Chains A and B, each alone.
Chain A
Amino acid sequence: MDLRFTPDELAFRDEVRAFIRDNLPADTRERMRLGYSPRKQDVVGWQRILNKRGWAALSWPKEWGGPGWTAVQRMIFIEENQAAPAPELLSFNITMLGPVLVQFGTEEQKRRFLPRAANLDDWWCQGFSEPGAGSDLAALKTAAKRVGDHYVVNGSKIWTSTAHNADWCFVLVRTNPAAAKRQEGISFLLVDMKTPGITVRPIISIDGAHHLNEVFFDDVKVPVEMRVHEENRGWDVAKFLLGNERTGIARLGKSRERVAAAKEAARQVRFNGKPLIEDAAFRQRVAQMEVDMKALQITQYRVVSAGARKTDGRPDPLSSVLKVKGTELLQSTTELAMDAAGPMAMPIWAQELAELANEPDLLSEAAEQATGSYLFLRAASIYGGTNEIQKNILSKAVLRL
């Protein structure tokens, strides 16, 4: 038993770190450092740089552009990339669609979509949730009726992250409303967002930003060859997608980055006559988070290392532990960063105030973004299967209750 990285793994980590340091565009780096969400061009630009290096299609087979890494190497890469902080690879393309097409796609679908997904020539989004189907995904109602060589899709999806940036969407639709079990009447379609009949409506979240959307389908024609896997077997695809390797689900690198940002702010602001970083209560909170990060890191090693040896292809239910503990930690680290900002956590237009004062005020800019992260990451325990659903999974799959 040895929890340390091997010399090879350490060398790999250094290689990743050096590559990110030398190749992450300066303006992207600066925005990320201040806590801004990356813009579309930041995400696209960085993923293309990584793809050119052969580092984008993380868990895909080599023949489709994967780097041929071990699970441990993927974990190291993801953590380093999050902690840099650099924009994350677009998960819709890399951890969701890619493995699905590799597993279930036709040769034509693979050739057409995989290289473009790796290079972010197509930005994908995920059309799963509906107003009446959140945690209970199988309740989805969006209908696809077969008419000749097309499906005609009607209905709506909600909480569709980045749909406003997207070129394509993978969508779960109901193809057989009469199926005995509701899971048996669902199919998985690839939909071009430029198809007539699609309307994207923004949903502004509590951070005041536009991440989320509603997507409406009104007689949208989708060619039959855009169906992945058999008709009415889309639930298999969805289960595969949701249970697929979830390295990075703990988002440990992001938590590390938030704690570092909080400490950086705490060195600059004062509290009771001395820098906040010297306050005992603040230090205690940081120490507790460092303990929690360490525990999560080792648990993640254990899950990744067990996963590397599993042969049944089924997800490790312990990845639900990573999801719950990882998002709890992420939320508490964003709280810490926001609290470190004190009163500067409140203004929305800190940047404008700074401009009025005619001097760059990076501290209040970072404070504004710290609050933004805090607000938006309340979603972390909701998306990807709420933490309550994760506990249901643990109850059923591990505890057998």
Chain B
Amino acid sequence: MDFDLSEDQRLLADSVTRLLADRYGFEARKGFLKQPVGWSAEMWARYAELGLLGVPFAEEHGGFSGGPVEVMLVMQEFGRALALEPYLATVVLGGTALRLAGSAAQQAAILPAVAEGRLKLAFAHGERDARYDLSDVQTTAKRADGGWVLDGAKSVVLHGDSADRLVVSARIRGTREDPDGIGLFLVDAHADGLARRGYAMRDGTRAAELSLTDVAVVDSDVLGDPGSAFSVIERVVEAGIAAMGAEAVGAMEAMQSLTLEYSRTREQFGKPIGTNQVVQHRLSEMLMALEQGRSMAMLATISVEEPDPAERARSISMAKVGYGQAARFVSQQAIQLHGGIGMTEEYAVGHYFRRAMVIEHTFGDTAHHLARLAAQVQ
């Protein structure tokens, strides 16, 4: 057991903290939200300069050769700043799919461009009727001269509107919920037959609904063995859950410190509200939830590279439940202790609240993961 960070890891975390402290204040963020894409291209370029866009990639691909812990450090800072950029979609989700299933040629063509900030990815897997069932894929891929043709629809594709290339799952055989028979295909954002409708989610981050009508994909754009991509999809989602856990911790830390500061300065009945024991205890309960949530986010991070798939899936589900419940408690109490001001669009706490809510509903909510765990009780 070891909770220490290496010197390199500390430097990485410090550099992200500094950049965001300088340039990602709450007011600056409001400006980024108003950009047509819903995030800051300038910040994206800064991330590339700092090497953040290549954190989990090999050095030969212009990366930092980092692992889940390095991603955790970046995501925690992004959570604190409520960063809007498509880092999760591009580097974590798209990047993991490429790293695990991409051929050497595919990796060489895509990962360096991602690390340099020239190419953005999205992971187009979820479908409207699938809820959180990862094997429920109705989009189809059919063999057609020298390649594949994709038909179907994808739903709530994170940052699907600004991606240059999309990693799309589609079924080449089998029935609707069969884990076997699913493939991953690289689709260009401007491919014929692909229609994207982008929108903002409750927290301001972007997503898209996709419809695919006779979208042609050449063989060299198939990721791995078509038909046996399910385990890759699981691992992409697990990496996403771990990264979002760190982000949730950053957001909880920010909510805790905003609320603490507010309770020290806000006066009612002639004294700061933080002098009331009922408020002190609530803040202590938030602290406890934050620390338990942090433990679970660590568990997710460490589990991403656990070799045993069953053990990995179980730890990831435990972590998602644990940090999801913690974030729900901390964010609800943060608003409550702020009172009316916590309800306003102008104040930061409500934005953290909504990020926590979106994270909880991404890649399986608490009920979904708890049910998975309950099924395994023996």
Contacts and interface: CB of A to CB of B under 8 A. Distances in A.
Do they bind each other?
A: yes
Interface of A: 1-6, 9, 72, 263, 277, 280, 283-284, 286-288, 290-292, 294-296, 298-299, 301-302, 305-306, 318, 321, 324-325, 388, 390-392, 394-395, 398-399, 401
The 5 closest A-B pairs by CB, nearest first: A298-B295, A395-B280, A287-B373, A394-B284, A283-B374
A301 B281 contact: no
Interface string B1-27: 111110000000000000000000000
B281 A395 contact: yes
Contact of A290 (B280, B293, B373): B373
A280 B374 CA distance: 7
Interface of B: 1-5, 69, 260, 263-264, 274-275, 277, 279-281, 283-285, 287-288, 291-293, 295-296, 298-299, 301-302, 315, 318, 321-322, 370-371, 373-378
Q: SS class of chain B's interface: helix, strand, loop or mixed?
A: helix
B373 A291 contact: yes
A325 B3 CA distance: 21
A295 B295 contact: yes
Given A283-B377, A295-B322, A391 B281 contact: yes
Contact of A286 (B277, B295, B315, B374): B374
B370 A391 contact: no
Contacts of B1: 2-6, 9, 72, 301, 305
Contacts of B374: 280, 283-284, 286-287
28 contacts: A1-B3, A1-B69, A1-B298, A2-B1, A4-B302, A72-B1, A277-B378, A284-B374, A286-B374, A286-B377, A291-B296, A291-B318, A291-B321, A292-B292, A292-B322, A294-B296, A295-B299, A298-B295, A321-B292, A325-B292, A391-B281, A394-B284, A394-B288, A395-B277, A395-B280, A398-B287, A401-B280, A401-B283
Contact of B4 (A1, A4, A295): A1
B263 A1 contact: no
Nearest to A280: B374
Given A1-B4, A395-B281, A299 B371 contact: no
A299 B290 CA distance: 11
A298 B296 contact: yes
B2 A1 contact: yes
Contacts of A401: 260, 263-264, 274-275, 279-280, 283
Nearest to B272: A401
A321 B284 CA distance: 9
Contacts of B373: 287, 290-291
Contact of A302 (B5, B285, B295, B378): B295
Contacts of B4: 1
Nearest to A259: B377
Contact of B322 (A9, A263, A294): A294
Nearest to B73: A1
A289 B89 CA distance: 32
B7 to A, nearest CB: 14
